[in-house]
Amino acid sequence: MNKIIPNHTPAPGWKGGFIEKHPELQYKDGVANLSTLPFNDNLDKIHNIKRQQRVLWPEFTWLTKHNDPASRCFQMFAPDISRAGYDTVGQNWAVICPQQGTYIEGFGTINVEVTVVKQRGWVNESDKSLAIDMVVRPKIWFSKDANQSAYGKLFWGAFELLNKLHHLPISKDQAIILHTHRTEKMEHVEDPEVIFVRDKLYTPKALDKLPSFTLHNNKAWNYANLEVGIGDIAKTGDEFVDSFNQLVMNLFNIGSGNLLQPESVLAWNVWVDAPTKVNQTEWRNHAQYWRTSIDVDHCSPDGNGSKVRYADGTEFSAAEELIKEALQAIWDFVKKHI
């Protein structure tokens, strides 16, 4: 496991000028309208990025129960889980978004990856501001445990047998895809899937202030925020797979405190260290580096995040019996079709 040392002084080489040449993209009355800036596919312009801001303290928050402010919980995901990549004048060209693994001993890992499909935006190091629009596709799939229990071997034997007839989410290529949407209406953005990364911190309406354990002012160089509405699972056209996928999502949400329950809002404050120069090869390999670490070591390569906690600091704990019931529901469903 690597230990990341936060950078506190921006690396040399910043020129700036992009946002000054495009005043139409600047914040006006707290709103940045990027509609005149074309999107680019997230992986197509990595050759353009020269600088990056690394999210070393990604603070997520969501309601574990619909419409119940008291159920709001907070979790810092693993460091360096996201990055913004841009050129020396300040046009943003690529975004790395989160990957997370929920490990079930003897069975395997439920993987979640937020894939960025396309993005557009700008960064201004001179005044520590930014605005990025992006479209994301959360993907969820299983990967097996190298040290499987007898129960796990039974599960995976059945999965692999059924996978010959159906495309089950036992690999990223066959992952469950989750619909997401923007949480606020914007006249200048017609596509509801476009979400915004913007300046300032997100503070839930029911709270006067954020819990102190979610604040990193003494270490971070800057911060921003984004919100995403969680939708339904994308249909595959295979009724068996759709039913199976729903059971998998039920299991994931039980274990995570309903992190991805439909009709909920997932928000996160992204605290970054000072800008650093980009190694483009390392950037391209970053996602696979993370995936290997999660699959093999069951942890993030640069250290894991915090436990899930409520605003008063009390830890959330998924009931073990509910996890067992969700696994049993998957097994009962599978047995009917073998």
The pLDDT assigned to 275 comes to: 99
Q: What is the pLDDT of residues 156-199, one digit of tens each?
A: 888 989 999 999 999 888 999 999 999 877 767 778 999 999 99
The CA-based angle 238-241-242, given to 5 degrees, is 85
Calpha distance 12→296 (Å, rounded): 37
Phi-psi region of 53 (alpha: psi -120 to 50; beta: other; left: phi over 0): beta
What 3-state class would DSSP assign to 328? helix
Length of the chain: 338
Phi-psi region of 15 (alpha: psi -120 to 50; beta: other; left: phi over 0): alpha
The pLDDT assigned to 300 comes to: 55
- Integer CA distances (angstroms), 214 to 43, 201, 310, in order: 31, 11, 11
The pLDDT assigned to 1 comes to: 56
For the chain, how long is the longest CA-to-CA vector? 63
Q: What is the reported pTM?
A: 0.90
Please, what are the averages of pLDDT over each run of 10 residues along the chain (338 residues)?
86 98 96 95 94 96 93 92 96 88 77 91 98 94 78 86 92 92 78 94 90 96 96 95 94 88 94 97 77 52 77 87 85 84
Tokens of 138: 């959360």
Q: What is the pLDDT of residues 60-110, one digit of tens each?
A: 999 999 999 999 999 999 888 899 999 999 999 999 987 777 777 777 888
Identify any residues that bridge with 322 across adjacent strands, giving them in sequence order.
Answer: none
The pLDDT assigned to 53 comes to: 98
